[in-house]
Amino acid sequence: MAPAASINVLPESDTSAFTVPGRLTIQSVAKRRAAEGRLVAGVAALADVERFKGRTSHLHKAKARRWDHRFSTESNTRLPSSLKGAARYLKNEGMISLGGGLPSSRYFPFEQLSARVPDAGHFDGPSRCSTLHAGKNDLAEGKSDFDISTAFNYGQGYGAAQFLRWIIEHTEIVHSPPYQDWSCIMTIGSTSAIDMGLRMFCERGDWILSEEFTFPTAVEAAAPMGIRVAGVKMDEGGLLPSALDEVLTNWDVYARCGPKPFVLYTVPTGQNPTGSTQSAQRRREIYAVARKHDLIIMEDEPYYFLQMQPYTGPDASPIPPPSSHQEFLDSLVPSYLSMDTDGRVMRLDSFSKVIAPGARVGWITASEQIVDRYRQHADVSTQGPSGMSQLLMYKLLEEQWGHTGYLDWLLHIRMEYTERRDVLLDACESYVPREIVSWVPPMAGMFHWFKVDYRKHPAYPRKSRADIEEEIFHAIIGHGTLLMKGSWFSPDGQGEGDDMYFRATYAATPLEDIQEGVRRLGEAFREVFAIDSVVQGNGNGIAAVQMKALETGLANIHVNGYINGHANGQAKDFGTGYTSGYGNGYSNGGHFDGYTNGHTNGYLSAMA
């Protein structure tokens, strides 16, 4: 991956080529609901997905392709749950069930649940909150369509009908899938969905494809299943369609010891770890390659709504936010789902980054056939998400905010992340040495990706790429900041000659800590690469070290940068791993053999 020095990938230019066609409006949702009548769904009720989609709304579209040739043995030998099947008799009027082993809600020791949540339209100013209530028997008492009795009991693998309806509508509003028989099922989080998706499509010995740097959990989930991950080259705009085509076209089953892959795992927006976002055009090209090679696209999109305003630099004035929901939706890079005429996309959505990870609620959207396979697995493993989570989310998203309020919230989050990213980028401009480190401003997600020109390390090439990465990692920790090593994100591992990266996040750290954290890592880079520091250190420290150096006969010490960097008082934090690395590096420069000659003293041993 070779990021250009500083390219702003503007969302405007990305979406101009493509607008999600026939997008459902929030007004149309209201009409559809009115036409379909009130939703009545009790304990473990089956969800009528067709009704939630509007019975006739999608009949003009072609059906998804069938994926029988793509399912694994595990998936192909799944049968529907016999016990869940018996639930269909419960529809008979007056039926007394002595059948299912569902406990009585009398024995749920929760009578009422309440949550204080911010009011839609008041996210930015002084906080204004409302309190939502869910009672035990709200459904029977006509107070709500969902309650503790229902949510806290067993449910179906796809989650509760009440909340699934909202999810289906939201999905249609945002993505408007262009084929007829798309469907949604809740997940207990996208991490689990990756695990279950891999088991659905892959056999031991298979390969899947991903970006050349990718979410390590996906790789770590795949490896024990005997599934290997082949990284595909990227640039600053994400996965390269030509590289994808090339890998597939020239796949050598003997060299790879495995069949040609047909699952592409991709994080198209605010990719983890690179922060890159595929443009609409890029997605269309990749989708064309997917059609050519008949791929399933596993579109993992936790950061989709963390698309931000364009970065304008430290001194420019910010670009105003979208002025309407329509403008907001149009500003989003279109998803693979929105262009998926074949039904070959399994899209993973998550509330983790925009509501709360602890909810453990997400959903997938895919063809009915894929969703059915997923549900059959969920019914005998994860089951649906926590009913406590579903009830709280339903109260917030369906009853309190509605689709409108949720879009307001997403817009609010967009602006908050924009501010966080800008603080990080501004700090980078101030503190991080451009001679060594380069980056592209991310336009989405939580991550910033530093490229490090490690060949400028004083000890290169005597010291290996991996050792230099380790040295930098610990130097940054020594300075009191934690970044993630780029090599952790490489599914194939990295070797000599590959580029070096570090991942930073601006998601959670307080703004002032982001600045300080970047200042520290800038220092660490300066120190490791022995370059001039811009830091206003304490002159006494420098003088003391210089004096000590003179005392111990190290008159020819290379003081610029190195000693300046040290003068910041961070030396005491250096760990053991760092010690040897640094000693080597320096002596290589020919300026300082104090360490190897045993001339170290208080200050200098601390430095080493």
- Site residues for a second copy, 495-514, by CB under 8 A, read 503-509, 513-514
Residue with tokens 């009011």: 119
Angle between helices 402-431 and 161-175 (to 10 degrees): 60
**Which 335-374 positions form the footprint of a second copy (CB under 8 A)?**
352-361
216 binds a second copy (CB under 8 A): yes
- Residues 222, 226, 232, CA angle at the centre, nearest 5°? 55
Instruction: Evaluate the omega torsion of the peptide bond into residue 442 and state whether it is cis, within 30 degrees of 0.
Output: no
117 binds a second copy (CB under 8 A): yes
Closest separation between CB of residue 113 and a second copy, Å?
Answer: 5
Q: Which two tokens stand for residue 365?
A: 């959207």
388 binds a second copy (CB under 8 A): yes
Contact stretch for a second copy (CB under 8 A) within 331-339, 386-394, 455-463, 536-544? 386-394
**Which 546-565 positions form the footprint of a second copy (CB under 8 A)?**
none
Q: Which two tokens stand for residue 289?
A: 């390659």
**Which 397-426 positions form the footprint of a second copy (CB under 8 A)?**
409, 413, 416, 424
Single out the residue of 17, 223, 543, 550 in contact with a second copy (rule: CB under 8 A). 223
Closest separation between CB of residue 241 and a second copy, Å?
Answer: 27
576 binds a second copy (CB under 8 A): no
A 10 A CB-CB count for 539 gives 10
267 binds a second copy (CB under 8 A): no
Distance set, CA 402 to CA 27, 113, 174, 394, 541 (Å): 12, 20, 14, 9, 60
| Helix, strand, or coil (residue 553) | coil
Residue with tokens 């990465």: 469
468 binds a second copy (CB under 8 A): no
Nearer to a second copy, 183 or 509 (CB): 509
Strand (E) or helix (H) holding 71: none
Nearer to a second copy, 136 or 566 (CB): 136
Single out the residue of 97, 249, 326, 556 in contact with a second copy (rule: CB under 8 A). 97
114 binds a second copy (CB under 8 A): yes
Nearer to a second copy, 421 or 548 (CB): 421
104 closest CA partner among 73, 126, 136: 136
421 closest CA partner among 509, 487, 355, 481: 509
310 binds a second copy (CB under 8 A): no
- Please, what's the b/e burial string for 273-298 (b: 16 or more CB within 10 A of its CB; e: otherwise)? bbbbbbbbbbbbbbbebbeebebbbb
**Which 141-200 positions form the footprint of a second copy (CB under 8 A)?**
151-155, 188-189, 191-192, 194-196
Report d(CA 375, CA 161) in Å as an integer.
14
Closest separation between CB of residue 594 and a second copy, Å?
Answer: 28
φ/ψ bin of 295: left (φ > 0), alpha (ψ from -120 to 50), beta (otherwise): beta
Residue 339 makes CB contacts below 8 A (sequence gap 6+) with 18, 178, 283, 284, 287
Nearer to a second copy, 340 or 408 (CB): 408
68 binds a second copy (CB under 8 A): no
Report d(CA 328, CA 267) in Å as an integer.
21
Single out the residue of 60, 68, 109, 540 in contact with a second copy (rule: CB under 8 A). 109
Closest separation between CB of residue 92 and a second copy, Å?
Answer: 7
φ/ψ bin of 504: left (φ > 0), alpha (ψ from -120 to 50), beta (otherwise): beta
Single out the residue of 17, 129, 253, 257 in contact with a second copy (rule: CB under 8 A). 129
Closest separation between CB of residue 195 and a second copy, Å?
Answer: 4
Nearer to a second copy, 286 or 476 (CB): 476
Single out the residue of 380, 534, 543, 547 in contact with a second copy (rule: CB under 8 A). 380
Instruction: Evaluate the omega torsion of the peptide bond into residue 461 and state whether it is cis, within 30 degrees of 0.
Output: yes
Single out the residue of 202, 423, 446, 531 in contact with a second copy (rule: CB under 8 A). 446
484 binds a second copy (CB under 8 A): yes
The single-letter DSSP state of residue 240 is -
**Which 73-92 positions form the footprint of a second copy (CB under 8 A)?**
73-75, 77-79, 81-83, 86, 89-90, 92
